[in-house]
Amino acid sequence: MWFWSDVEGCAVGNVGTVLRSVLTPQGTLGWMPADTVNASQNLYDVTFARGDSLVGFAVGANGVILRSINGGRRWEKQFIPGGQNLRGVSFAGDLDGWAVGDNGVIAGTHDRGLTWFVVQPAVTTQGLKSVWRPNLLRAIAVGAQGVAPVTSAGPDSIAWSLGNAGASFGLEGVAFGDSVAFAVGDIGGAGAILRSDDFGASWTPQTARSQYPLNDVFFVDRVHGWAVGNNGAIRHTARGGLH
């Protein structure tokens, strides 16, 4: 799910499900289906362009990308070439975004999602599960066997290079807290959390204190963050995970 205010957000799921948050007459938060979706594919991630709460994107099975320009009420469907399942999507501003998925596919857009291109050649064949774009020049993705590709900084940020956080890690989620990157997943079936202070050049494992794999992470700044995982696991740090 993705929220762009205290009460406005969208959640996506199987069989083209898209839900929008609504305020009930009692002042509580409720959910209702989007007005128009026209997609039956399973959806795995959703985001809204930072700086424009009306423009949103959802990605999922068979390379589907859904785009909304009215706050998640109506969604238009398109597909990337190759039809690989897309697992994560992230935007910086309202024009530039990345989507990642199975077999190392990375797709990008520079025109608000009107058209998408696939990065060739692929930097990895490992499945990519999540991507985060903290600014126009930079992005980082994570996936199986610890792969952690990063963009090579440049005027259009198209080139990617392969990084790795350690082959024993299965990484499922990544997020930035200001300029610090955090990735979560599992190692040997238990939860794993890693931190990078140099934009993915190196990763430091942190103490996850979770016997269950972790599936996603989100930070509101460089010290306050949450990770969630299997069996209802929720982990929180107020110190950037350093203590």
Measured CA to CA, the distance from residue 19 to residue 174 in angstroms comes to 23
| Segment holding 99, helix H or strand E | strand 96-101
- In contact, 175 and 225? CB cutoff 8 Å: yes
pLDDT at 152 over 80: no
All domains in the chain, ordered by first residue: 1-122 (2.130.10.10), 134-243 (2.120.10.30)
Burial of residue 218, with CB atoms counted within 10 A of its CB: 0-12 exposed, 13-18 middle, 19 or more buried: middle
Nearest to 201 by CA among 225, 176, 181, 173: 181
Q: How confident is the model at residue 243 (pLDDT cuts 50, 70, 90)?
A: low
Q: How confident is the model at residue 158 (pLDDT cuts 50, 70, 90)?
A: confident
pTM to 2 decimals?
A: 0.93
Angle at 201 between CA 196 and CA 207, to 5 degrees: 30
Of 39-43, 46-50, 92-96, 113-117, the one with minimum mean pLDDT is 92-96
Q: Between the CA of residue 173 and those of 25, 61, 78, 128, 215, what are the distances in Å?
A: 35, 18, 24, 9, 6
Q: 22-69, pLDDT tens digit by residue?
A: 988 888 889 999 999 989 999 999 999 876 678 999 999 999 999 999
**Residue % of the chain over a pLDDT of 90:** 80
Q: 183-222, pLDDT tens digit by residue?
A: 999 999 999 999 999 999 999 999 999 999 999 999 999 8
